[in-house]
Each structure stands twice: as C-alpha cells, then as structure tokens.
Amino acid sequence: MKIALSRKMDFGKAPPVSPERKRELLYFQKNAGIKFHSLELLNLAFTHRSFFNESRHEVDNNERLEFLGDSVLGFMVSEWLFLNLPARHEGDFSKIRSYVVNEDSLAEIALSLHVDRFLIIGKGEEMNGGRTKKTILADCMEAIFAAYYLDAGLKPVQELILRHLVPAIMVVLDDRHKKDYKTLLQEIIQKRYHKYPVYELLRTSGPEHDRTFWVQVNVVGNIFGPASGANKKEAEQNAACAAYEALTGHHNKDTE
C-alpha cells in the first residue's frame, strides 16, 4: 500500500530545501538505507515545533507526522510479535512492545542514524541542548517513520522499522533488557498487598535547562527515597528501584 504523492495531499509545509540542505538529506537517506521521493516531506519530519514557533515564514512542524508514526510503529511491532511468537499471549505482547517502543529505544535509534545532526530546531531549544533530548529525538524518529510510510508505502517502512526494532525485541526475549522498575514494583505490591505505590515529587533544583527532580515513593506506609533524576519520570524510576531492591533483597543487574 502506498499513498501517491501526486495527489498533492496536504502533509504540511516544510522549510525550504536549499542545495546544502538537499545534500544533507541525501546523506541521511544513504546512511539510513532509505530513499524518499519527496525531500520536502523528509525535511518536514525533521522540523521541531520550536523552529515553527520562531520562524518568520509560514512553515509547519512534525507533530502531525509524529502522531501517525506512533500508530505505524505500534502496528508494525504488534504484527511482528503476533506472527513470530505464536506461543505468547496478549499480555506478553503488551509488555514486550512497551519495552521496545518507548522514548529510550527510539532516541537510541535516532542517534544511531545521526538524526540529531539533521534536526531543524529553534535557537532557544538549540541553546538548551535540544538536539540531545530524548523526547525530541524519539518524536522525530516517529515522524520519519510516518513520512517514509506516506512517501514509499507500507513495505519499505516495515523493513526500516523491523531492521531497528527486531534486535531490541530479541534482547527482551533473552531477558537482557533494562527493566522498568515502576512496573516491577507495582506488580509485587499488587500481588502482596493489593495496593499501588504512590509517588510524590518533593522538589526540583537547578536552572530551567538543567533541572534535577527529587521523588519519593510510599509503599503501604513505607517511604523509599528521595531519589533524583533529570526528569520526573527518571526520578520515579530511581525511587522505584530503591523500593524494589529493598523489598526483594536483590539488585536487578539488567539495569546496568
């Protein structure tokens, strides 16, 4: 299945593709092993909203593509799991997919393809280290998947996605992946006490562009933490790690 770009469908207005930018996009394609018919569509996938907000020209950003890419990615991984793991159940599929289709794994793929070099971001975001932010990299990767689906069709984007995601799936199946401590903690608390852990953000410190978050977790009246992180999610994971290790009496070496 392929959507014909000759229909002049409105995917959004990308920043102009200069001769220099064209060379950059061609280099990205060669490195990624893909080929776009529309360099404008690929350029749009690299355009972050911070550039859109600062631009004096009428341009769009990659958020609509990101929305579509999330669905395309989820479908491709779900189909692969369904077809290749007949002995597994729906619950297993959901856990495996959550480990491989997340911000960390997508940002890692983006860095392996040097997406950070080709991002189009605003000056403020550039100064705040936007090119290395996991959220921006992961969102851009989803936008690229969507753009490639629209440009080349289902089969080429399937090959691109599975080329990068199947190795991550195999790591999970071999139990060599980084475990989600929040999920692990919730599972044992529900099993033992039929309750849920409660996380509390205690404080933040540092400048706006380099915050540190401090979180503690309440497990049936027992407080663990505070633990710190570069964002709230990371701090919660670290607090959950402390609680999990204390309650189980062992260290999960898969996080190393």
Say how far apart CA 214 and CA 210 lie, in whole Å.
13
- Establish whether 142 is a catalytic residue: yes
Say how far apart CA 43 and CA 35 lie, in whole Å.
13
- Count of residues in the chain: 256
Among residues 40, 60, 125, 142, which one is catalytic?
142
**Angle, alpha carbons 104-42-53 (nearest 5°):** 75
The answer to whether 236 is a known ligand-binding residue is no
Q: Give the residue carrying structure tokens 């999990």.
A: 244
Within 167-221, strands assigned E span: 198-205, 212-219
The answer to whether 10 is a known ligand-binding residue is no
10 Å Cβ neighbour count for 173?
15
Among residues 40, 60, 70, 151, which one is catalytic?
70
- Establish whether 174 is a catalytic residue: no
Contact 64, 12 (CB under 8 A): yes
Catalytic residues: 70, 142
Annotated binding-site members: 66, 139, 142
Annotated binding-site members for Mg(2+): 66, 139, 142
